[in-house]
Amino acid sequence: MGDRQKHIMDMVDMLKNTPGITLNAVSPIYETKPVGYADQDDFLNGAVEITTIMDPFQLLDVCMRIENALERRRTVKWGPRTADMDILFYGELVMATEKLTIPHPLLHERGFVLLPLMDIAPDKVHPARKVSIRDLCKNAGCSGITLYRPGA
């Protein structure tokens, strides 16, 4: 919601300026149709690769703080929002708790997640599925997603 591109740039800047996080790569931004709750504007999606000294739960707290700083409101599942940050991978870790599941449990079927990952980590192997991002993208319908072009 709002200035979608600015929100993404703000999220990246806040991550980059968080002590204990090093930003390694940033994907291009893609524009996609909403999934799950269709009565809303298109989404902008991207991915970043970071290195961190934080544990996964500390990183999740950082993500939640950034979302809150951008006034994220959780009213409708998969509904309109100003910001949404997910931890897709954390090295080779595979875990599932009530608070956090890594790898992200739906990333393998979401082209809007996989295509930005293709730009920064095509050979990354999903630690639970043992398949590369490249191969997951082939199977998840990444072809219908367009690069974001402001004003187009």
Calpha distance 6→15 (Å, rounded): 14
Interval 92-125: pLDDT, tens: 999 999 999 999 998 898 888 899 999 999 999 9
Spell out the residues 6+ positions from residue 149 whose beta carbon is closer than 8 angstroms to its own.
none
Among the listed residues 152, 115, 150, the one whose alpha carbon sits nearest the alpha carbon of residue 3? 150
pLDDT of residue 37: 57
pLDDT of residue 74: 55
Distance of alpha carbon 131 from its chain centroid, rounded? 19
* Average pLDDT over the chain, rounded to an integer: 85
pLDDT of residue 149: 78
Distance of alpha carbon 51 from its chain centroid, rounded? 15
- Whether 79 shows a pLDDT value over 60: the answer reads no
pLDDT of residue 57: 97
- Whether 29 shows a pLDDT value over 60: the answer reads yes
Calpha distance 32→42 (Å, rounded): 6
pTM of the model: 0.84
Q: Which domains are seen in the chain, by residue range?
A: 4-147 (3.30.70.560)
Kindly state the tokens that stand for 81. Answer: 């929002």
Active-site residue list: 72, 81, 84, 86
Interval 48-71: pLDDT, tens: 999 999 999 999 999 999 988 887
- Whether 76 shows a pLDDT value over 80: the answer reads no
Calpha distance 67→32 (Å, rounded): 20
